[in-house]
């Protein structure tokens, strides 16, 4: 019987991994979350099937015992957001770098089988060529991008130096049900969903021609499970994206079409630290991990909109 730990398991992506594990038959799933950006509500329907620990990855002693003996730790706990890391660099640094270091130390000390780490596509920065391939030189443009990149390097070092198995997945703009739209730092598609439900204009930073490889959360959760099982991948890094590229203007047009609500977006100045274009080359993840994203952007957005509508009506 395998024991799984999901740090940040009450978050949007972490809770999707928890549900995917349970669907795959896992019987022992523990969640670590300090509820800073996560919500217990995200675990409502699975609460009876998991262990929940309100604990903070900045505190080694709080988490070491929970990680001990786990077969796989999915490390999702983080303060996401490029602009938040610019406005509040200290907590973002402490959680994303020091917290990750603690998780790796505790995993090593506790004999954990493998750590699957939530890395970020922001590490690439602006590359001359698209799609972005893992072998490219990284050019982080924000504290957040650098912090997530440091975590990757630490995973690689713990694998090479201490023999702890690690796999890093560079997430490409994950979206879907349960993404919290309530903060100015929220993911843009969750903000678009909230805008149509409340019938108010979103603000697009820049001219809206920047593009992202938006990736549906269920596809990312499945890839995590595959990364947990794959053989001979320790120390490796993989793009976790779809391989497509959608501009913000296209995304806003789609949200309006799917919802039947027409509102012009407002436009504001471009955001500091913003990457202009992002698109994953998924060759390596497909080859080594069997990555097989199932959701087209339109399918994923349809499901996401349905979820936000139901949540608003509840």
Of 12, 117, 171, 216, which lies in the binding site for ligand UD2, with binding defined by CB under 6 A? 171
Give CA–CA dist 114/274, Å, rounded. 32
Of 10, 18, 95, 275, which lies in the binding site for ligand UD2, with binding defined by CB under 6 A? 275
Phi-psi region at 273: left, alpha or beta (left = phi > 0; alpha = psi -120 to 50)? left
Start-to-end C-alpha separation, the chain: 37
Q: Are strands 203-205 and 166-171 parallel, antiparallel or unpaired?
A: unpaired
Residue 200 Cβ, how far from ligand UD2 at the closest point, in Å? 12
Site for ligand UD2 in 209-248 (CB under 6 A): 210, 212, 248
Residue 259 found at the interface with ligand UD2 (CB under 6 A)? no
Give CA–CA dist 40/11, Å, rounded. 8
Site for ligand UD2 in 101-160 (CB under 6 A): 120-122
Binding track, positions 172-201, relative to ligand UD2; x by CB under 6 A: xx-------------xx--x----------
Give CA–CA dist 15/38, Å, rounded. 9
Of 39, 108, 194, 271, which lies in the binding site for ligand UD2, with binding defined by CB under 6 A? 271
Residues in the chain: 314
Of 274, 302, 309, 311, which lies in the binding site for ligand UD2, with binding defined by CB under 6 A? 274
Instruction: Pick between residue 177 and residue 202 the one whose CB is nearest to ligand UD2.
Output: 202
Give CA–CA dist 299/313, Å, rounded. 21
CA–centroid distance for 246 within its chain: 18
Of 4, 117, 124, 144, which residue is the catalytic one? 144
- Give CA angle at 108 (104, 110), nearest 5°: 115
3-state secondary structure of 174: strand
In sequence order, which residues have a C-beta less than 8 Å from that of residue 287 and are 6 or more positions away? none
**Encoded tokens for 155:** 């995973």
Residue 121 Cβ, how far from ligand UD2 at the closest point, in Å? 4
Residue 61 Cβ, how far from ligand UD2 at the closest point, in Å? 28
Site for ligand UD2 in 83-102 (CB under 6 A): none
Of 195, 184, 177, nearest in space to 253 by CA: 195
Residue 204 found at the interface with ligand UD2 (CB under 6 A)? yes
Instruction: Pick between residue 172 and residue 297 the one whose CB is nearest to ligand UD2.
Output: 172
Of 12, 16, 47, nearest in space to 182 by CA: 12
Instruction: Pick between residue 42 and residue 81 the one whose CB is nearest to ligand UD2.
Output: 81
How many amino acids of this chain bind ligand UD2 (CB under 6 A)? Answer: 23
Question: Is 144 in the active site?
Answer: yes
Determine the interface stretch with ligand UD2 among 17-25, 75-83, 97-105, 292-300 (rule: CB under 6 A). 75-83
Residue 77 found at the interface with ligand UD2 (CB under 6 A)? no
User: Cβ atoms within 10 A of the Cβ of 39, count?
Assistant: 15
Burial of 19 (0-12, 13-18, 19+ CB in 10 A): buried
Residue 295 Cβ, how far from ligand UD2 at the closest point, in Å? 17
Residue 204 Cβ, how far from ligand UD2 at the closest point, in Å? 4
Write out the catalytic residue numbers.
144
List of residues contacting ligand UD2 (CB under 6 A): 80-82, 120-122, 171-173, 187-188, 191, 202-205, 210, 212, 248, 271, 274-275, 278
């Amino acid at each position: 019987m395998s024991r799984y730990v999901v740090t940040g398991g009450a978050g949007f992506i972490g809770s999707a991994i928890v549900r995917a594990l349970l669907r795959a038959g896992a019987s022992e799933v523990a969640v670590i979350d300090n509820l800073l950006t996560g919500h217990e509500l995200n675990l409502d329907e699975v609460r009876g099937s998991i262990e929940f620990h309100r604990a903070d990855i900045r505190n080694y002693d709080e988490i070491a015992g929970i990680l001990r003996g786990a077969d796989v730790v999915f490390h999702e706990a983080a303060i996401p957001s490029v602009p938040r890391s610019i406005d509040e660099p200290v907590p973002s640094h402490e959680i994303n770098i020091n917290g990750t270091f603690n998780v790796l130390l505790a995993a090593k000390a506790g004999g954990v089988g493998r750590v699957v780490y939530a890395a970020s596509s922001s590490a690439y920065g602006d590359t001359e060529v698209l799609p972005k391939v893992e072998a490219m030189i990284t050019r982080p443009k924000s504290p957040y991008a650098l912090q997530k990149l440091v975590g990757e390097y630490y995973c690689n070092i713990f694998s090479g130096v201490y023999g702890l198995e690690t796999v890093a997945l560079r997430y490409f703009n994950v979206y879907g049900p349960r993404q919290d739209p309530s903060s100015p730092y929220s993911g843009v598609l969750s903000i678009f969903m909230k805008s149509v439900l409340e019938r108010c204009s979103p603000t697009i930073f820049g001219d809206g021609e920047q593009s992202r490889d938006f990736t549906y959360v269920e596809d990312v959760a499945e890839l995590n499970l595959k990364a947990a099982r794959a053989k001979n991948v320790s120390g490796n890094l993989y793009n976790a994206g779809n391989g497509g590229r959608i501009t913000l203007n296209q995304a806003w047009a789609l949200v309006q079409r799917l919802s039947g609500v027409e509102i012009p977006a407002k436009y504001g100045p471009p955001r500091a630290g913003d990457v202009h274009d992002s698109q994953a080359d998924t060759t390596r993840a497909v080859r080594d991990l069997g990555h097989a994203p199932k959701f087209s952007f339109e399918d994923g957005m349809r499901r996401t909109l349905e979820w936000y509508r139901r949540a608003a009506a509840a």
